[in-house]
Structure 1
Amino acid sequence: MLTIFGFHTDDKLYRKHAQILQRSAEKFDINVQFSEFSKDDWQKIIAFKPTFIAGMRRDLKGPILFVDADAIILKDIRPFFESLQEDIAVHYINGTRLISSTVFINDTPNARLLMDEWERRQLNQPDRWDQVVLQELVDEWVEEKRITLNKLPPNYTFIFDTSRRTYGDSVEPIIEQLQASRDKRWIDKYQRRNSFHQWLMRIPYLLKSTRKIVGRHNVVNNRAESLGIDIRLTIDDLI
């Protein structure tokens, strides 16, 4: 039985995103295990993501699917993922660059070894992007025939505001990445401004930066509403 898992920080923005993701998974009777960490703990732990995922692979039985907390599941993904026989499944943008926002890890000895090795390599290279370290490892082990790989179609790692330009209109999202990092940049800017400029930034559609954030929130809220999820993002969740 497939289990979706992930983590999020304890701020309002990511907590609400995680709630949306969890509710969307539950709509399709998918098991969900999400962990919450303080922002301080998350920033202090070296190789956080590989360590977390490797630990979950050791702890859980059956096939597991890591999904970034700021995603939403729009269709029943169980038939697809529960049919996979490969050790790991990830998407490569245009077939070349691995992205780790959706990572399927099967319940196989080689998959466990792969996750343990990702953790080990990341701990030895803490300043490198964990996604790059994972791609180097996966490509190396596939070439050596130590693991089997399924390259996920873009439907399962669909970025709400860029994938359409990359793949065209024929691709419909199944797991959609909603990119809360866009809001984090707005928050950083907001915190550096004086009180008057902060007031301006809180007015919807007045400033370009706020219009972009409101537009992203509208996408998130529309997706949630389409599944009957009564959780909404607003500017107040960022302040």
Structure 2
Amino acid sequence: MLTIFGFNTNDKLYRKHANILALSAKRFDIDVFFEEISKDDWQKIIAFKPTFIAKMRKKLTGKILFIDADAIILEDIRPYFDTITEDIAVHYINGNRLISATIFINDTENAKLLLAEWEKRQLQQPDRWDQIVLQEVLDEWESEGKIQLKKLPPNFTFIFDTSKNTYGNNIKPMIKHFQASRDMRWIEKYKLRKGIYKWLMKNSSLLRSTRKIIARHNAVNQCTKQLGIDVQFSLDDLI
């Protein structure tokens, strides 16, 4: 049995995304285990992601799948993941660069040891991006025969706008990621605006940054509508 797990911060943007992800999983009868944490705690805790994933591997039994909160499941993914026998599976963009938005972890001792090593190295290098550290550990351990790695196809880590540019139009997304961090950057800029400039940032179709955020929201809303999920995004969710 496959269990999806992850975390979201306690702001309304990521809380809403996590709700969409959970509702999409339930459409396909997939178990979901998500934790909500304080945004302040998340920013303060060194190596939060590898520590959280290692903790959940010990807590949950069976095959588990970490998914970033700002994603949606569009198809029944269980038949694919049920067949994986390797310790861990993750997508490498063009076969070269690991992206940690979707991580499959089998219930094996080698997987647990790898996660412990990822956490250890991340604590030693707190300023490095956690997925770069994970790739270094994975590539090293696979070459030494200490871990069995499966490289996921892009269907399971499909970024809503850039993956088409990378792989063309023949890839059918199974798990689509929406990169909500873009909204967070927009919010920070919005907070700095005053008076009419704040109104213009929210309402002007001439601003490239605002158009891109609206396009992101439209992509989310199209997917929720496709699945019959009654949740929609708008700029009002951000301010």
Normalised by the length of structure 1, the TM-score is 0.98
Letter in 2 for 1:42: W
Letter in 1 for 2:162: T
Structural mapping, 1:68-217, within 5 Å: 68-203=68-203, 205-217=205-217
Cα distance between partner residues in 2 of 1:212 and 1:73:
22
Q: Deviations over 1:89-137 (max 9, x none)?
A: 0000010000000000000000011111111111111111100000000
Alpha-carbon contact 1:118-1:137 (below 8 Å) kept = yes
Structural mapping, 1:1-16, within 5 Å: 1-16=1-16
Cα distance between partner residues in 2 of 1:55 and 1:133:
18
Structural mapping, 1:32-47, within 5 Å: 32-47=32-47
Aligned to 1:48: 48
Letter in 2 for 1:203: N
Alpha-carbon contact 1:8-1:36 (below 8 Å) kept = yes
Cα distance between partner residues in 1 of 2:182 and 2:110:
36
Q: Which runs of 5+ in 1 are unaligned?
A: none
Q: Deviations over 1:41-93 (max 9, x none)?
A: 10011100000000000111001000000000000000111110000000000
Structural mapping, 1:220-239, within 5 Å: 220-239=220-239
Aligned to 1:28: 28
Alpha-carbon contact 1:205-1:214 (below 8 Å) kept = no
Q: Residue 175 of structure 1: CA displacement?
A: 0.4
Secondary structure of the equivalent of 1:172? coil
Q: Which runs of 5+ in 2 are unaligned?
A: none
Instruction: Please identify, of 187-196 and 103-112, the stretch whose mean Cα deviation from structure 2 is larger.
Output: 187-196
Q: Percentage identity across aligned positions?
A: 67
Cα distance between partner residues in 2 of 1:71 and 1:208:
23
Distance 1:27 1:170, change over 3 A: same
Aligned to 2:65: 65
Secondary structure of the equivalent of 2:8? strand
Secondary structure of the equivalent of 1:185? helix
Q: Deviations over 1:8-65 (max 9, x none)?
A: 1111111100000000000000000011011101001110000000000011100100
Cα distance between partner residues in 1 of 2:132 and 2:102:
14
Q: Residue 212 of structure 1: CA displacement?
A: 1.2
Alpha-carbon contact 1:88-1:149 (below 8 Å) kept = yes
Cα distance between partner residues in 2 of 1:58 and 1:195:
51
Q: Which 4+ stretches in 1 moved above 4 angstroms?
A: none
